[in-house]
Structure 1
Amino acid sequence: MYLNCHSYYSLRFGTFSEIDILELAKKNRIDSLALTDINNTSACLNFIRKAHDYQIKPIVGIDFRNNHQQLYVGLAKNNEGYKELNDFLSYHSHHKIDFPKNAPPFKNAFIIYPFKQVQETQKTKFASSEFIGISIKDIPKLRLSSFRKLKDRLAILQPVTFRTKKDFNAHRLLRAIDKNILLSRLPESQQACFSEKMIPNDEIKNQFGEFDFIIKNTENIINQCSISFDFSKNKPSLNQRTYTGSIEEDNKLLKKLCEQGLPYRYKNPDNKVYDRLKKELGLIIKMNFVSYFLINWKIISYAQEKGYYYVGRGSGANSIVAYLLKITDVDPIELDLYFERFINSHRTSPPDFDIDFSWRDRQDITRFIFEEFSNVALLGTYVTFHYKGAVRELGKVFGLPKFEIDKLSEGNYNYNSLDHIHKLVVIYSQLIQGIPNYISIHSSGILISEKPLHYYSATDMPPKGFPTVQFDMIISEDLGLYKFDILGQRGLAKIKEAISIIQYNQPKKANFDIHDIEKLKKDPNINALIREAKCLACFYVESPAMRMLLSKLKTDNYLGLVAASSIIRPGVAKSGMMREYILREHDIERRKNSHPIMLELMNETYGIMVYQEDVIKVAHVFAKLTLDEADVLRRGMSGKFRSRKEFKDVQNKFIQNCRAEGYEEKIIFEIWNQVASFAGYAFPKGHSASYAVESYQSLFLKAYFPIEYLVATLNNGGGFYRPEVYLHEAKLFGAKIVTPCINTSKYEHILQQKTIYLGLSILRNLDHKTSELILLEREQHGIYTSLNDFIDRVPIGIEQISILIKIDAFAFTGKNKHELLWKAYFKINGTPPNYNQPLLFKEKRTEYKLPKFKTSRLEDAFEQIESFGFPLCGYYEIMASQPTNQNRANQLKNYLNKKIDIYGYLIAMKNTSTSKGTRMAFGTFLDQFGDVFDTVLFPPVQEKYRLRYKGVYRIYGKVVEEFGFLSIEVIKILKQDYIQDPRYT
């Protein structure tokens, strides 16, 4: 009897999940139910999947509304009707237009108009599939209405939005958040009626007892609705079935491409190569994954044609077929990559291919996919309310001042001392945590379906301009739609641009092959950088944590870097296995501590689980799970899947099987905790190997062309650190840094010999449009000869030209910046003219006689801080008191186990918690001579000094060493003051 139920995917309206609705229906003895979220179908598929568990017949539809005013409810009679409704919703969503007051005719869907809407529009004609919906509160009005005569057109439409008064209150708060207004100003028209609740089936029939024809009509609607999808374990994939249009032709093409790729990858392939290829091809063909491989091949073939750099990774990087098709650059034979991680006869989903492209090229790759294939959409994801965000939104709704909201959001309060309103904010923020706030786009997922995607969901059209389904990755996999992962990455853009800069700046040295990975792996200079952890700006290996790990491991080869790339992941560190791995790296005897089976399975990593496929190995061989069960375990280690029954069952079986094998309880749970702590975070080995390849490419550029590479790094959004750190590094390699100039700078930074000319992009307050005008005018009509010439040619306001003058962008004139500022103020009055064409006659300008001005180096430093966030001279020069000692980072070994007093400029910090939940921090600093050192602030010190913001600090602490890695355990730390800004003193 309930044909209008709302979950919390009725965004900023509903308050509980589609599963909660099913549980509520079960409690009220309801055996059929329609989920009709407002302008949304996000929950429909999971609702259908789970309804079977509750013995409830699922019906799905859409509650169509304009500005939350209900127009009509559409119910799908079948799968075709669901598509019709999705087509209709998507069209209006894509074009951002309101729904019409009357629904169009649907062949396979019912339309129910709410009684109130029918009364207002005085609609009198209804098609055979259209009904007037009557809720319990409408019954008194129906008795007096002429619509009572339309007996065959009346049906029960009792909305369900709430369970309790608390739900109703949360709903009102969500509506106020949605409208961005105070709760007290929320109009009734923007909220649901408190009567929108579910009552038992027999009670709702009693309410309509005098209208038995309404009950009968409603039951007829329910009986005619039937929708189903295959969520079974061995369901067929819904992805595009063939690449060529024929399965036979697909199989021939894949084999042919592999044959063509053999000579390129293997000059003298042995039986091991042929056996692996035969085994893979057999399984890929048997499991109907051929089109999946060919579609990925087509995508990277387009990238190769366009000269786009890319990296193929994911579990598919364990595949020799992917290696031969050039989807990846990882040789599974060389690395002995675990075959069953890539594919096995029990696996129902195709292997993962994460293909990274330059962030500059990714949009074109996405466009190509949408144009090349049919039935394409981006995968959706849900952005949910988190504690801080919920507190901020609710604080505004309750009218709290910002400083009080800040305290609440930071948890800086004693709950018992809060007043009533503040307590309500905390209580309801906890209630709405986890509720979807809005639908977004998955970071990389693209769906390429055999059938139109509106068979499964409506689509939105976000600003990116590509249709996006309204469900997430978990539901997509449940359904049998497997995503293609296309990611944007800045590291590849850095490599590509660095090579372009080298070709321009040092053409005679540009005859290297960045893709000759075998040569790079053997390069002693590259391996020395890894061993010494001098990897600043290099992909994936520049962070303080990675630098620390490489230093402790003394890694100096490709395989060591492959392992380090996965060891650094959160799970391995969390389980304590990162430290254990380092200990076993240096102590051969300690390796014997591992269980013999574990050591045999993971001999290369000393019996420690490092890679994602290690989970499969341990589950399959150690715990005697099937490969199918092992894969459930791997996939279920993170996110929504962890709470599912399938995962819980496999977890229990893991422990039971281990007991049956006779393992000690201590061993069983020690190994289970390792599995559980990191499987969702660790990389497959092939994935780590792909990352290591890109690391070697960037390390090669850093080793031989450091300045060119650092400029490319800056032009592509930097990396782990702030831009000033990369410019500082460039200066250490002999670069000269020149502030932006209107005659030499481009938008991005450029390099000439060893001089870096900063680009206009570094000026934080300079409009992008102004930069474009300056560069376009210069390109079309030549360099600017003077301030007057610039003002005549570029329409610019005084604020924008002041930014340029203050940063010395007019230094070529030879005039002092203060003089230029005065002249600019005299010459530019009011709004700048909008020149659409060059001036025929230049305005004669009065020249004013000004006094002589002086500018100091310190004044320039503060201008630079204001303009782009840091001084080129560094912060040590503007300290109020200069350092009282000359201690430096390269002297730390002389102070081992002793105290040191040293100055450092904070370039990176990480807050973390101890096992007891107390806060501590790690800080990375530059000393006054430009070298890097690391510190740790244990909880008592961090609690007392609260290391937080960038700046120069005086640090007193004890130098300690672990596996050759030196750091300072801070005892006392004090931030240093800067001189007063000379521009205002």
Structure 2
Amino acid sequence: METEELTYQPPKEWRESTKVLSLYPPIPRNTNAVNFDIYDFEMLFNDEQTNQLIRTGQTIGCFYIESPGMRSLLRKLDVHDFEMLTAASSIIRPGVAESGMMQEFIARHKDPARRIYLIPEMKDVLGETYGVMIYQEDVIKVAHHVAGLSLEEADLLRRAMSGKMRSHSAMQKIIEKYFLSCKNKGLSDTQAKELWRQIESFAGYSFCKAHSASFALLSYQVAFLKSHYPAEFMASVLSNRGGFYSAAVYVWECKRLGLKMHLPCINKSNYEYSGKKDEIRIGLMAIKNLSRNSIQKILDERKNDGEYHSLADFLIRTKLGFEETSILIKCGAMGRFKKTRPELLRLLDIYIHKRKILNESYNDLFLHETFVMENEVKTNINFSVEEICKAEYETFDYMVTRHPLYFYRSFTEHSAIVKARDLNKHRGKNVRLIGWYMTSKRIKTRKGDIMKFLSLEDTTGTFEAVIFPREYEKFAEHTMSMGPYIIEGKVDESDATNVVVSKLSVLSVTSVKVADQKDSVDNKYFGDVEKISEEDFMLLEGIDKEKLRLAYAS
């Protein structure tokens, strides 16, 4: 029997659209002799360490599941398998969340008694998702099996809800057809309208299940990497210049994971961040105002002729100028030379401006005098912690040596302040916390009021300050800085990382000075806190009244 010649042609708009000239090959497996296959999904889904990381929301840095809202959702749903992560990836979308069905899904997931179906037929169609539409396919199933539309009409309804139908008249016909079909199926007006409300508010922003599942697969892969190879994974996140959060958040997530963050080093750093075991080395890419060409010079010279042995050796070999070299010194990238940063800066001035060793005609006729100057600038005094952190912040946009809250420790270590890691012990109770800014999100409630979510961290963990409209009206102007924020509020019983704010203030540097009795907002100097010992009284016995009067008068 002869086969008929195929006459099918793709639609015209497909043939005339942009053509894909080539397809990239899939990512190779088991490169660099790693002992796992990242595409072995059965292994991933059954890995307890990965599931524990996901269910506890410790997913900062993980694709699609790192936002504060998503991390809270993972905890509320106790997500620890692929199916539930697929569902969570869809219900976090605006359509489901804004329709109120996300909260309903959570409630029904936790309490089977809540799984009451609007229309009995919905149990057969949406039993897997407790009667809640969370995928685009659910719109088709409900419109066909419950409302009575044909499959073609149901899909047309889905497309219309997604904003892909521009004809207003065609849209109106579908709406009329929907309500007529509901009536023919015996649904009441109340049932038809509520079903329509759910479809209308949800369908425009929903995922199809395949889309959501593909996101969940990738989320599982990166969660596995974070749980088993945290240094390598977080180094890659930082090299990728972050994701949902700023680099500062990822750096302190590394610290909370127990990783050691090493400053950049001209002898050890690569261009990107590098991680191994429990250590991460900051890459030269993190240094602002250090050009790509200069970084490449440093790396190429080191590769060709070995490590740098001194500041003079570095300057002669790389020919970097004063400004870029001083940046490297200030941020700690020349710590391998075993000299303090002030001494290196003084030597830099001598080499560049006195010896002029970067000049092509360099020939030091006064070498002895130069050696004398080098000895004269030696010092064991290094930058203070404050100066080091200031240099790091100016260079990287984040601090490494200390967390910003370190400089407010007279407040953060107070017994009345609860640490983020201890919030689980205070569910349903009022607490006071101090946190540093991570990110924030303003939203409009159903009533049209504005509220805000402030994502904050301390050195032990992260938490979410939920500021409802009434409180936001009071404190909005205080939520525009990095902090530190003093938060007072009630810990959410369902998710202890959420704190409903009743009071908010910003802890200023001036407040810290007042606490230390160094300064005040009124510019009043209180003097140092004096300590009195028995020796002071013994000294007073040997001083007559006249000498004592003169001492105080002077």
Q: What TM-score do the two structures reach when normalised by structure 2?
A: 0.81
Name which of 110, 114, 126 aligns with 1:590.
114
Counterpart residue identity of residue 898, structure 1: K
Q: Match for 1:871 among 365, 375, 399?
A: 399
| Residue in structure 1 matched with residue 447 of structure 2 by the alignment | 916
Secondary structure, aligned partner of 1:602: helix
Residue identity matched to 1:944: K
Change (3 A) 1:606 1:813: same
2:321 alignment partner in structure 1: 797
2:490 is aligned with what amino acid? Answer: K
Which letter does structure 2 place at the counterpart of 1:874? H
CA distance in 1, matches of 2:444, 2:11: 45
| Matched residue SS, 1:743 | coil
Gapped regions of structure 2 (runs ≥ 5): 1-8, 514-554
1:971 — aligned with what? 502
Tell me how far 1:601 sits from its aligned partner.
Answer: 1.1
1:398 corresponds to which residue?
A: none
Rounded to whole Å, the distance in 1 between the matches of 2:121 and 2:166 is: 27
Q: For the Cα contact (< 8 Å) 2:351–2:357, is it kept in 1?
A: no
| CA gap 1:655/1:539 in 2 versus in 1, 3 angstroms | same
Q: Cα–Cα, structure 1 residues 897 and 572, in superposed 2: closer, same or farther, change >3 Å?
A: same
Residues of 2 paired with 1:747 and 1:842: CA distance? Answer: 33
Contact 1:778 1:784 in 2 (8 A): yes
2:259: which partner in 1? 735
What's 1:236 paired with? 11
Per-residue displacement from partner, 1:653-705 (whole Å, max 9, x unpaired)?
Answer: 22222223231122112111211112121111111111111111111112211
Q: SS at 2:80's partner residue?
A: coil
What does residue range 505-544 of structure 1 map to in structure 2 within 5 Å?
Answer: 510-544=34-68
- 1:637-652 aligned at under 5 Å gives the runs 637-639=161-163, 641=165, 644-652=168-176
| CA shift in 2, pair 1:594/1:623, >3 Å | closer
Q: Structure 1 runs of 4+ off > 6 angstroms?
A: 832-835, 839-842
The equivalent of 1:957 in structure 2 is 489
Query: 1:639 and 1:661 mapped to 2: Cα distance?
Result: 27
Matching of residues 395-410 of structure 1 within 5 Å: none
Deviation, 1:643, is 5.5
Q: Residue 563 and residue 833 in structure 1: after superposition, are their counterparts in 2 closer, same or farther (change >3 A)?
A: farther
Q: Shift of residue 715 of structure 1? A: 1.4
In structure 1, distance between residues paired with 2:328 and 2:497: 44
Whole-angstrom distance in 2 between the partners of 1:575 and 1:680: 11
> Would you say how many aligned residue pairs link Structure 1 and Structure 2?
491
Q: What are the Cα deviations for residues 109-146 of structure 1, in whole angstroms up to 9, with x where unaligned?
A: xxxxxxxxxxxxxxxxxxxxxxxxxxxxxxxxxxxxxx
Rounded Cα–Cα distance in structure 2 between residues aligned with 1:943 and 1:599? 43
Corresponding position: 1:814 with 2:341: no
CA contact (8 A) 1:879 1:977 kept: no
5 Å matches for 1:90-105? none
Aligned to 2:550: none
In the aligned structure 1, how far is the partner of 2:168 from the partner of 2:75?
41
1:603 to 127, 143, 161: 127
Q: Secondary structure at the match of 2:143?
A: helix
Residue pairs, 1:481-560, within 5 angstroms:
503=32, 510-560=34-84
Q: Partners in 2 of 1:649 and 1:931 — Cα distance?
A: 54
RMSD: 3.0
Q: Provide Cα deviations, 1:891-919, integer angstroms capped at 9, x if missing partner.
A: 32433332211112222221111222221
Q: Does the residue aligned with 1:595 lie in a helix, a strand or coil?
A: coil
- How far apart, CA to CA, are the structure 2 residues paired with 1:842 and 1:705? 51
Where do 5+ consecutive residues of structure 1 fail to align?
A: 1-233, 242-290, 310-498
Once the two structures are TM-superposed, the CA of residue 780 in structure 1 deviates from its matched residue by: 2.5
Corresponding letter in the other structure for 2:404: Y
Amino acid at match of 1:303: P
Query: What's the CA shift for 1:604?
Result: 0.3
Distance 1:648 1:775 in 2: 65
Letter in 1 for 2:308: Y
Structure 1 letter corresponding to 2:485 = Y
Which residue is equivalent to 1:935?
Answer: 465
Deviation at 1:639, TM superposition (A): 4.4
Q: Distance in 2 between matches of 1:635 and 1:240?
A: 22
Q: Check whether the contact 2:462–2:497 (CA below 8 A) recurs between aligned residues.
A: no
SS in 1 for 2:342: helix
Query: SS in structure 1 opposite 2:161?
Result: coil
The correspondence for 1:747, drawn from 248, 261, 271, is: 271
Q: Within 5 A, what are the aligned runs for 1:646-725?
A: 646-725=170-249
Question: How far apart, CA to CA, are the structure 2 residues paired with 1:747 and 1:729?
Answer: 21
Q: Secondary structure at the match of 2:218?
A: helix
- 1:517 and 1:627 map into 2 onto residues whose CA distance is 33
Partner secondary structure for residue 968 of structure 1: strand
Change (3 A) 1:800 1:528: same
Judged with a 3 Å threshold, the aligned counterparts in structure 2 of structure 1 residues 976 and 765 are, in CA distance, closer, same or farther, namely farther
When normalised by structure 1's length, the TM-score is: 0.47
Matches within 5 A, 1:194-209: none
1:726 Cα offset (Å)? 2.1
Q: Is the 8 A contact 1:581 1:605 kept in 2?
A: yes
Shift of residue 718 of structure 1? 1.9
Work out which of the residue numbers 373, 377, 381 in structure 2 matches 1:850. 377
Q: 2:411 aligns with which of 882, 893, 901?
A: 882
What is the DSSP-based 3-state SS (H/G/I as helix, E as strand, rest coil) of the residue aligned with 1:679? helix
2: CA distance, partners of 1:303 / 1:235? 25
- The alpha-carbon distance between structure 1 residues 741 and 671, as it changes in their structure 2 partners (threshold 3 A), is same
Determine the structure 1 residue equivalent to 2:142. 618
> Structure 1 residues 799 and 640, CA, compared in 2 at 3 Å: closer, same or farther?
farther
CA contact (8 A) 1:632 1:647 kept: no
Q: Are residues 951 and 736 of structure 1, via their aligned partners in 2, closer, same or farther at CA, if it must alter by over 3 Å?
A: same
Distance (Å, rounded) in 1 between the aligned partners of 2:175 and 2:100: 21
Question: Quick one: which of 480, 485, 502 aligns to 1:948?
Answer: 480
Q: Deviations along 1:859-900, whole A, 9 cap, x unmatched?
A: 111111111112111111122843223521233243333221
Deviation for aligned residue 1:591 = 1.3
Offset at residue 965 of structure 1 (A): 4.8
> Is residue 749–residue 759 contact of structure 1 (8 Å, CA) maintained in 2?
yes
Taking the aligned partners of 2:144 and 2:358, their CA distance within structure 1 comes to: 72
Partner AA of 1:896 in structure 2: R
**Residue 314 of structure 2: SS of its match in structure 1?**
helix
Q: Report if the CA contact (8 A) 1:736-1:754 is conserved.
A: yes
Residue in 2 that maps onto 1:144: none
2-side partners of 1:631 and 1:887: how far apart? 52
- What is the one-letter code of the residue matched to 1:514? I
Give 3-state SS (helix, strand or coil) of 1:882's partner. helix
In structure 2, do the counterparts of structure 1 residues 895 and 825 end up closer, same or farther at CA, with 3 Å as the change threshold? same
Q: For residues 950-984 of structure 1, give each alpha carbon's deviation from its aligned partner in whole angstroms, at most 9, with x where no partner exists.
A: 2321111122313x555211111122234899xxx
Identity %: 38
8 A Cα contact 1:750 1:759, kept in partner:
yes
3-state SS of paired residue (2:505):
strand
Query: What is the correspondence of 1:112-123 to structure 2 with a 5 Å cutoff?
Result: none
- What secondary structure is seen at the aligned counterpart in 1 of 2:493? strand
Closer, same or farther in 2 for the Cα pair 1:299/1:688, shift >3 Å?
A: farther
Distance in structure 1 (CA, Å) of the matches to 2:378 and 2:36? 57
Conserved? CA contact 2:427–2:496, under 8 Å = no
What is the CA-CA distance between 1:747 and the residue it aligns to? 0.9
- Distance, in Å, in 2 between the alignment partners of 1:672 and 1:548 is 29
Change over 3 Å in CA distance of 1:642–1:945 after alignment to 2: farther
Deviation at 1:640, TM superposition (A): 6.4
Which of residues 833, 837, 862 is equivalent to 2:390? 862
Structure 1 contact 740–759 (Cα < 8 Å) conserved: yes
CA contact (8 A) 1:880 1:977 kept: no
User: Structure 1 residues 752, 583: CA separation in 2 closer, same or farther (over 3 Å shift)?
Assistant: closer
